[in-house]
Amino acid sequence: MMLGIGEKHELPTILLIDDDLVSREVIATVLTLHGHPVHSAEDGNEALRMLQTGAVTPGVVLLDTQLPGLAGAELIAKLRAFGLDEIVLISGSTPPDDLIAAADGFLLKPFGPEDLQKLLGQHKPKIAQEPIPDAEEMVINPTTVAQFRQLMTEATVREIYATMISDLNKRLVALEKAIAARDSEEVRRIGHAIKGGCGMAGAVQAAHLGAFLETRSDQLDNCANALQQLYSATHRLERMLEKEFPA
């Protein structure tokens, strides 16, 4: 869900993750009326799907500390993989110290836009500690493959992955040229496309690398390192295709 009343695009886009409907509606409405574009998710898995598909590229994540299912430090780590370095906890009570340490700030409910503005930018981005996604991350989400196989023939599923790999190889060439030309905007655009396409196909590492390239396109040295990892991720996808879906 996205609210856009009175948008002021100089303010960061917010992804609000909260399982309480009333809290979501009130917080989203108040922040939107003060100029923030706001997208909301009711749990961690929904938020990750939104990021994987490119439905939202947030500048700030507001994360409730008592979500059902995927939550807490585990969810924060998965959000970091998308290059997010403004993750603010929200709760009606003070969360444990270790959870506060994993995030970039904490706001006690109820809070207002002024409280959020005071908090933003007062920390060192934690994403800098591990800027590039893990090189050993899973090549493909088995759940996604299983879902495809339930809906389509083996030949159709193979064609989806073959098309994705072909597209990745073309984008790798374009990325290399953009990085060499120090064209940050083109790096950002290509990263966004990789994040969306690979995320939909369940290509986890490639999608996370695309997200990194999108959000860190101004850090061209790091982008060059991510490009090398993306080459490796593509080769792993090619081997997966040969093994899982032999021609």
| Angle of CA points 226, 229, 233, to nearest 5° | 130
Q: Report the C-alpha gap between 108 and 125 in whole angstroms.
A: 21
Domain 2-129, CATH: 3.40.50.2300
What does the DSSP assignment read for 148-196? HHHHS-HHHHHHHHHHHHHHHHHHHHHHHHHHHTT-HHHHHHHHHHHHH
pLDDT for 61 = 94
pLDDT for 4 = 45
pLDDT for 114 = 82
Every domain of the chain and the residues it spans: 2-129, 142-244
Q: Report the C-alpha gap between 127 and 132 in whole angstroms.
A: 9
Please report how many Cα atoms fall inside a 13 Å half-sphere around the Cα of residue 240, on the Cβ side. 22
User: Class of the 142-244 domain?
Assistant: mainly alpha
**What string of pLDDT tens digits covers the 247 residues of the chain?**
544 444 444 688 999 999 988 888 888 888 888 888 999 999 999 999 998 888 888 989 999 998 989 888 889 888 887 878 789 999 888 888 888 888 888 988 888 778 887 887 565 444 444 444 444 557 888 888 888 889 889 999 999 999 999 999 999 999 999 998 989 999 999 999 998 889 888 898 898 899 889 888 888 877 888 888 899 889 999 998 888 888 7
- Please list, in sequence order, all residues whose beta carbon lies within 8 angstroms of the beta carbon of residue 238, skipping any fewer than 6 positions away: 165
Among 204, 205, 193, smallest CA distance to 230 is for: 205
Rg over alpha carbons for the chain, rounded to the nearest Å, is 19
Please, what's the b/e burial string for 141-160 (b: 16 or more CB within 10 A of its CB; e: otherwise)? beebbeebeeeeeeeebbee
pLDDT for 131 = 46
pLDDT for 122 = 61
Three-state secondary structure string covering 10-22: CCCCEEEECCCHH
Asked if domains 2-129 and 142-244 share a fold, the reply is: no
Provide the residue count of the chain.
247
Among 97, 104, 112, 107, smallest CA distance to 79 is for: 104
In the 8-state DSSP scheme, what is residue 38? E
Please report how many Cα atoms fall inside a 13 Å half-sphere around the Cα of residue 242, on the Cβ side. 6
| Angle of CA points 155, 207, 213, to nearest 5° | 140
